[in-house]
Structure 1
């Protein structure tokens, strides 16, 4: 007990005037509101482009607020879930429509114009087993929903819904082996989905493919339970782990471009104790850079700071000196540079960014995500280790060669380079101890299964996908499956690639560029595109039922 009493409290490592200089971006506290007279814990927030925000209260009530004339006002309050509400997301195309998930296994649609009434329940009437949902997201066009479930009888489900119909369209259950904690649709492509789980995996799907196995384009091994995911730029995913690590993954090359340990993050925040550092979420700056919001448990739990990724490094960005609580969630309006935070004291705060001339908000030198994709093409992996020093894998390939693995960018295409035991890429993934970041974490518990096995999701299931934190040269991009009719209205633009033709091609950085026609989602008037989507997903459900002889 004396040890803890004598332990030095977390504090700033520089003087206040130095903080002002080292954190150049300024945010003014525009307004804030305490949602209850009692101390109320808020850990989820969702927002719209019209400045509406939903929060979840401990009593499973959902409240919606709106920013008007520099003030926050409550729009409505809604309740109806019987168990813990886990996520709320607005329809991107209609900010009056809000979706929610809960551990009661229901997805609900709410209309804020009707006093917050529930207008539709989404559920599988034929399923006897309740799937407690942990997370939810809606595609950028507002028509496809995806929910992620807790582990139910050894299966963790990703369930797809058409927002117009109460019955599920289809689902995946082979690619995660523990609770699904995050599902995030791409910001511009309805068919691209990233998911994260307690199993330590980040999966990227192209749900236009016909089966779950074909839809899984990349499995990225975070090696720790995934807490938060966010799309950054056109082809990168930011991952926060429950070990308080930041990882930036390129979905173009399936490599970890930046890995920051808790100690390095605390050091960049200018705080003395890494153990008191916590991570909130990753947002995108006005200039398109990844920005990490982080705080400290130490002192009065008021420290809140933002760190920016620039030039492949994590740098001080903003200090929220007027913060009054331990922050648990945030939402950033990139166009207006408005940041909304909420947390354990039940305070919702709105911060307005002040335009700066530091260059950190400029996008001129960005290559999708602040040069990270460029670093990857050069073969560099930037790791901020526990000591705060950086390491670039492009300069340390000798250490990997000792283990018998080669850098992803130098491997032979097609069949790929052999791993240590000589197996080829079609049947292998990189061993955990050979990954770019496998030995970087002291906070993340490493099991033999993670670092010494072949990292397959389930070794006794031939349908399970391989896990790798290097490029998967056997990924296929055949245009078919659940969302293939997205492209029906513009089929002349589509590039037809057979599995044989692309099986030996690496997933280069242009594959997910907005100009890449092979990932282009056609738009038609009157919702015709999504009618085709729903029909195709329903067909996929029938195929999955026939294959597994069970409800999707």
Structure 2
């Protein structure tokens, strides 16, 4: 989609019984004038002729290769050349399995040839994309094997994997693995009380980690510390259920976090003290993308811009998701930013490369 690479999934409107027929709140001339940045689809590729959804996306460091985790428990790879998508020599890994669903994909390091795939059956597996062969599976301790892995991430130097589990009999685990030693390093067991739904390492500091859960908590950890109590830096109570987290920097180079909740609200928090910076309810985002139906509005992801700004990608699921727009975060305000025209499918996940001009 122009300079942005966004993969879509076919689906109907999120709420077909909504009494409000979704539409723009103003005419097309005002829409064009308000959203100054315009994008068109550069290329698109179907992952399946069946009803298969893209649930997870990641790219290598150069943004030349993309991995897509699908709802049929498989992962497909795509290469990007001159804004054209193509399959490499293989197109699906691992073999489709009824045992566990894909819960995340991450490239391990600077190389586009090593991919981590998380599975809800309880492990994170390292694949060599040159051969399509599994190199190693990182599994938790025996007491956590009954827990399903919900999400995972790898830190900025590619040496530590952290996975988060669901809740079984009041037990919830954050598990840490040494990538090179191929061994379990330990875990945190007391910082969350429900399914862990988001794990995000800091983009440059390999020891800084934030995690989110259905319990509404966002925890910040320094994993270089020897105990869970010492590692826990700050806890934020969103009073909601955490869906997605991302790291950003303000104009003073201070870290802050964007949080999208399962109720499609957006909150931003300062990291050192955990103070709330701004919050935007779903109805406010709907208004800012200039649509009428709140129940059709879906918040996808927050992304960094090359100029240091941050934008939120949002869509309307009405009429198969043809409306895709973004708003820019400016302090405690949301401002219209960009239009993504010609979309024909509902979007569930997105990526953005700020370095492409």
Question: Does TM, normalized by the shorter one, top 0.5?
Answer: yes
Q: Which residue of 2 aligns with 1:170?
A: 186
Q: Which of these residues, 265, 271, 290, is aligned with residue 310 of structure 2?
A: 290
Q: Which residue of 1 aligns with 2:20?
A: 8
Residues 116-144 of structure 1, C-alpha deviations (whole Å, 9 max, x = no match): 21111112464473331111111111111
Q: Which residue of 2 aligns with 1:23?
A: 35
Q: Which of these residues, 50, 70, 77, is aligned with residue 64 of structure 1?
A: 77
Q: Which of these residues, 211, 217, 237, is aligned with residue 257 of structure 2?
A: 237
C-alpha spacing 1:56/1:22, structure 2 compared with 1 (3 Å): same
Under a length normalisation based on structure 2, what TM-score does the superposition of the two structures give? 0.89
Q: Does 1:182 align with 2:198?
A: yes
Alignment of 1:149-164 (within 5 A): 149-164=165-180
Q: Which residue of 1 aligns with 2:47?
A: 35
Residues 391-445 of structure 1, C-alpha deviations (whole Å, 9 max, x = no match): xxxxxxxxxxxxxxxxxxxxxxxxxxxxxxxxxxxxxxxxxxxxxxxxxxxxxxx
CA contact (8 A) 1:100 1:136 kept: no
Q: Which residue of 2 aligns with 1:513?
A: none
Secondary structure in structure 1 of the residue aligned to 2:267: strand
- Structure 2: gaps (5+ residues): 1-15
More helix, by proportion: 1
Residues 269-328 of structure 1, C-alpha deviations (whole Å, 9 max, x = no match): 000111211111111111121211111122342111111112431111111121111100
Give the whole-Å Cα distance in 2 for the aligned partners of 1:13 and 1:169: 53
Q: Which residue of 2 aligns with 1:336?
A: 356
C-alpha spacing 1:296/1:6, structure 2 compared with 1 (3 Å): closer
C-alpha spacing 1:118/1:52, structure 2 compared with 1 (3 Å): same
Secondary structure in structure 1 of the residue aligned to 2:39: strand
Q: After TM superposition, what 4+ stretches of structure 1 lie above 6 angstroms from structure 2?
A: none
Deviation of residue 74 (structure 1)?
A: 1.3
Q: Which residue of 2 aligns with 1:92?
A: 109
Give the whole-Å Cα distance in 1 for the aligned partners of 2:170 and 2:262: 22
Q: Which of these residues, 257, 260, 264, is aligned with residue 280 of structure 2?
A: 260
Give the whole-Å Cα distance in 2 for the aligned partners of 1:328 and 1:40: 12
Larger Rg: 1
Secondary structure in structure 2 of the residue aligned to 1:329: coil
Give the whole-Å Cα distance in 2 for the aligned partners of 1:125 and 1:209: 21
Under a length normalisation based on structure 1, what TM-score does the superposition of the two structures give? 0.58
Q: Which residue of 1 aligns with 2:319?
A: 299
- Structure 1: gaps (5+ residues): 338-552
CA contact (8 A) 1:303 1:323 kept: yes
C-alpha spacing 1:124/1:262, structure 2 compared with 1 (3 Å): closer
Residues 471-527 of structure 1, C-alpha deviations (whole Å, 9 max, x = no match): xxxxxxxxxxxxxxxxxxxxxxxxxxxxxxxxxxxxxxxxxxxxxxxxxxxxxxxxx
